[in-house]
Amino acid sequence: MKTGKSSIAKRLLGICTIPAGTILIFYIICAFRGIAFFETSNHVLIFFRSVATVTLTTFALSINLDSGRFDFSLGSIALLASVVGSTITLNYGLPPAAMLVITLIAGIVLGAFSGLLYVLLKLPALITSLGVTLLYESLVSIISGSGVSFGTQPELTQFSKGIPNMILVIVIALAFMYIVMNYTKFGFHYAALKDGQKVAVDTGIKEVGNAIGCYAIAGAMMGMVGYINATLTGTIQASLDFGSIGAMFVAFLPMFIGGFIGRFSENHFGMVLGAVTYAAIQLGFVRLGLSSEVQSLVSALVLVGFLIYLNNEHTLAALFTGKKKGGA
């Protein structure tokens, strides 16, 4: 396929419009209110931290949801992984790097275990994940009681306070997903299973291993989210009765935006830009001093609006070009 000049321009437009447009809108609104969008370096940090956690959550959500596996347990994995990581680190007085590594490994193990249950129980992923969520939340409570607190050890809470760290997380996560999904056997098999489950299984591709792998990757992502969240305040609060499922809801908008941008670029890169959009909205609300109720309301409306656009693009396009649809 040859790419002409106009088509490159079109692609760039498709890639940039949403994130750049969102940032621009908030810049303008902030300017009107006499506020700078990025006033201090702290705003930049908030922004990148959001991009990082939202990107990771989006990768974790989409890797399974794209294959028709709905996973409620993401938030509980983040929570439990960070509890395991911090508890072990504190009990044995390990260095901060150990906490990162243990949390990440815990995330992978918890994700893989969730995948293993899904594979073994042969239930719809949605249902398995309900049970897993309850289980992981309860383990958090059993291990840590009310949670874990290490805010008094500043060396343990440095990670999420560095902008370079956040950028590094984003870059590594993106590079990881990009390479795994586009240049490894796992990724090829993933794509085949995603779109042609039966054909792929009949051909002899090991679906079970691939699925567990997906859950493990999602677990790694959520482990990282747990680590960032834990090091943000130095406290992890236990949560019961599905209190943890809210964590995954941030990922829907970026996921769909990612799907849209994915038409012009690589899918995962699109998701990062989706996360950028989400983070911009979030920071915008913080800068404008609007309450989080208003924010969740607006985010929900934006999500619905964007989906309406995505799912009715052709109808809308027909409407604008004046083409009529349907018989007399």
Partner 1 sequence: MKLNKLAAVVLSAAMAGSLLLTGCGGSGNGGSGTEGGSKVDASDISDYGINQNVKIGVLASDLSTAEALSFRAYYEEYLGSQYDVDFIYSEQLGNAEEEISAIEQFIAQGCQGIISLSSFDRPGQIDLCESAGIYYGVAAGVLTDEEQKAYEDCEHYVGAVGPSLETEYQTGYDMAKYFIDKGDTSFLIFAGAAAFGTEMHIYRVAGMFEAMCEADASTSYNGATEKDDIITAIYGDLGVNADHFSSDTFTVSAVNGYNMDDAWFGEIAEKINTPGLQAVLAVGNGSDFFGSMAPEGVEVGSVDTYAEGYLNAMENGQLDYMAGKFSPSIAPIFVAVINAINGVPLRSDGSAFMIDQGYWIATNADEFKTFLDSSSATNPVYDKEILDQYISTPENVVSYSDFESFVSAYTFDDIQNLK
Partner 2 sequence: MSEPILQMQNISKHFGLTVALDHVDLTVYPGEIRGLIGENGSGKSTISSIAAGMQPATEGTMKFKGRDWAPKSMTDALEHGIGMVVQERGTIGGVSIAENIFLGNIDQFSTAGFVNRRKMNQAAKEILSLVGMENIDPALPTTVLDLQDRKLVEIAKVIARKPDIFVVDETTTALSQTGRQKIYDLMKEQKKQNKSVLFISHDLDELMEVCDTLTVLRDGNLIKSLTKEEFDEEEIKQLMVGRELKGDYYRSDYDGSYDKEVVLKIENGNFGEELKDLTLELHKGEILGVGGLSSCGMHTLGKALFGAVPLQSGRVTAGGQTITSEKTAMQHKIGYVSKDRDTEALNMDASILDNISIAGLDKIAKHGVITKKNERNLVKEQISSLSVKCREPKQAVSELSGGNKQKVVFGKWIGCDSEILILDCPTRGVDIGVKQAMYQLIYRMKKEGKSILIISEELAELIGMSDRLVIMKDGAISGEVTRSESLNESAVIGYMI
Partner 3 sequence: MKKKINLKSKVVEIVSLVALAILAVTYLVMMGDRLSPYMLQTLLNQTIITAVVSTGAVFIYTTGAFDISLGSAVAVSAISGAMVYNKTESLFLMFLTMIAVGLLIELIDSALAAFLNLPVFVTTIAMLSVLSALVKIMIASGGGAKIEVPRAVVKTLDSVGLKVLILVVFIGLCIFIYNYTALGRREKFLGGNPICAKLTGISVKKLSILAFLIAGVGVGLAAFLTVVRAPTITTSTASSIGMDVIIAIVFGGMPASGGARSKISAALVGSVSMVLLSQIMVILNFSAGISQCVKSILFLAVVTLSGLKGRKAMLTR
**Chain centroid to CA 238:** 21
Of 3-11, 85-93, 168-176, 233-241, which part binds partner 3 (CB under 8 A)? 233-241
E strand or H helix at 304: helix 292-311
φ, ψ (nearest 5 deg) of residue 149: -135, 125
E strand or H helix at 112: helix 96-121
CB 110 within 8 A of CB 80: yes
Q: Which of 96, 234, 265, 266 binds partner 1 (CB under 8 A)?
A: 234
In angstroms, give the least distance from the CB of 176 to partner 2: 13
Using CB under 8 A as the binding rule, whether residue 96 contacts partner 1 is answered as no
Q: Is 176 exposed, middle or buried (0-12, 13-18, 19+ CB in 10 A)?
A: middle
Under DSSP, the state recorded for 239 is: -
Of 60-68, 110-118, 124-132, 153-161, which part binds partner 1 (CB under 8 A)? 153-161
- The partner in contact with residue 204, picked from partner 1, partner 2, partner 3, none with C-beta cut-offs of 5 to 8 angstroms by kind, is partner 2
Of 42-50, 93-101, 274-282, 302-310, which part binds partner 3 (CB under 8 A)? 302-310
- The partner in contact with residue 205, picked from partner 1, partner 3, partner 2, none with C-beta cut-offs of 5 to 8 angstroms by kind, is partner 2
- Nearest CB to partner 1, comparing residues 74 and 212: 74
CB 24 within 8 A of CB 278: no
- Nearest CB to partner 2, comparing residues 33 and 263: 263
**Chain centroid to CA 194:** 19
- Nearest CB to partner 1, comparing residues 146 and 203: 146
CA distance 179 to 16: 23
137-175 core/surface letters (b: 16 or more CB in 10 A; e: else): bebbbeebeebbbbeeeeebbebbeeeebbeebbeebbe
Q: Is the dihedral of CA 90, 94, 100, 102 positive or negative?
A: negative
CA-to-CA dists, residue 237 to 76, 78, 145, 148, 168, angstroms: 12, 12, 9, 7, 26
Q: Which of 70, 186, 188, 269 binds partner 3 (CB under 8 A)?
A: 70
Using CB under 8 A as the binding rule, whether residue 192 contacts partner 2 is answered as yes
32-53 core/surface letters (b: 16 or more CB in 10 A; e: else): eeeeebeeeeeeebbbbbbbbb
Q: Which of 98, 116, 135, 191 binds partner 2 (CB under 8 A)?
A: 191
φ, ψ (nearest 5 deg) of residue 34: 75, 30
- The partner in contact with residue 285, picked from partner 1, partner 2, partner 3, none with C-beta cut-offs of 5 to 8 angstroms by kind, is partner 1
Binding marks (x or -) toward partner 1, 44..83, rule CB under 8 A?
A: -xx--xx--xx-----------------------------
In angstroms, give the least distance from the CB of 203 to partner 2: 5
CB 192 within 8 A of CB 73: no
Using CB under 8 A as the binding rule, whether residue 325 contacts partner 2 is answered as yes
CB 71 within 8 A of CB 64: yes
Q: Which of 16, 29, 38, 43 binds partner 1 (CB under 8 A)?
A: 43
In angstroms, give the least distance from the CB of 4 to partner 2: 16
- Which residues of the shown chain bind partner 2 in the complex (CB under 8 A)? 1, 179, 182-185, 187-189, 191-192, 194-196, 198-200, 202-205, 324-328
- Which residues of the shown chain bind partner 1 in the complex (CB under 8 A)? 40, 42-43, 45-46, 49-50, 53-54, 141, 145-147, 149, 151-154, 157, 232-235, 237-241, 246, 250, 282-283, 285-287, 289, 291-292, 295
